[in-house]
Structure 1
Amino acid sequence: MTTGTTLKLPEALIFDMDGTLLETETLLTGVNQRLFDTLREEGLYMEEAPPVSALLSCLGMLLEDIWKTIMPGSSEEARERADELLLQYEIEGLAAGEGELYPGVAATLAALKEKGVKLFVASNGLEQYVRKIVEHKGLGHLFTDLYSAGEYNTSSKVDLVAMLMKKHGLTSAWMVGDRSSDIEAAHGNGIAGIGCVYAGYGKPDELAKADAVIARFEELADMLDQAKAAV
Structure 2
Amino acid sequence: MKQDKPLQPDAAIFDMDGTLFETDTLLIPVHERVFRTLREEGLYSEETPSVDILLGCLGMLLEDIWRQVMPSSTEEARKRADELLLQYELEGLAAGEGSLYPHVEQTLRVLKARGVKLFIASNGLEHYVKGIAEHRGIASLFDGIYSAGEYGTRSKVDLVARLLEDHGLQSSHVWMVGDRSSDVEAGKRNGLVSIGCAYARYGEGSELCDADRLIHDFRQLVDER
* TM-score, with structure 2 as normaliser: 0.96
Task: Kindly provide the CA deviation profile for residues 169-228 of structure 1, in whole angstroms up to 9, marking residues without a partner as x.
Answer: 0013100000000000001101111000111311011100000000000100127xxxxx
* Residue 209 of structure 2: aligned partner: 208
Structure 2 letter corresponding to 1:214: I
Distance 1:105 1:9 in 2: 17
* Structure 1 spans left out of the alignment, 5+ residues: 224-231
Distance 1:173 1:165 in 2: 9
Question: May I ask how many residue pairs the two structures share in their alignment?
Answer: 222
Task: Kindly provide the CA deviation profile for residues 66-86 of structure 1, in whole angstroms up to 9, marking residues without a partner as x.
Answer: 000010111111111111000
* Residue 138 of structure 2: aligned partner: 139
Deviates more, 1:42-51 or 1:173-182: 42-51
* Structure 2 spans left out of the alignment, 5+ residues: none
Contact 2:58-2:202 at 8 Å conserved across structures: yes
Distance 1:79 1:10 in 2: 40
Give me the identity figure in percent. Answer: 63
Structure 1 letter corresponding to 2:209: A
* Residue 218 of structure 2: aligned partner: 217
* Residue 123 of structure 1: aligned partner: 122
Distance 2:223 2:93 in 1: 31
Listed as ranges, the matches of 1:59-70 within 5 Å are 59-70=58-69
Return the offset for 1:124.
0.3
Moved over 4 A (4+): none
Return the offset for 1:8.
4.5
Two-structure CA RMSD over aligned residues (Å): 1.2
Distance 1:159 1:46 in 2: 37
* Residue 52 of structure 1: aligned partner: 51
Return the offset for 1:50.
1.1
Distance 1:128 1:199 in 2: 23
Listed as ranges, the matches of 1:25-40 within 5 Å are 25-40=24-39
Contact 2:3-2:214 at 8 Å conserved across structures: no
Task: Kindly provide the CA deviation profile for residues 11-34 of structure 1, in whole angstroms up to 9, marking residues without a partner as x.
Answer: 100000000000000000100000
Structure 1 counterpart SS, 2:111: helix
* Residue 180 of structure 1: aligned partner: 181
Structure 2 counterpart SS, 1:38: helix
Structure 1 counterpart SS, 2:60: coil
Distance 1:5 1:131 in 2: 32
Structure 2 letter corresponding to 1:209: D
> 1:19 aligned to 2:24?
no
* Residue 190 of structure 1: aligned partner: 191
Deviates more, 1:69-78 or 1:25-34: 69-78
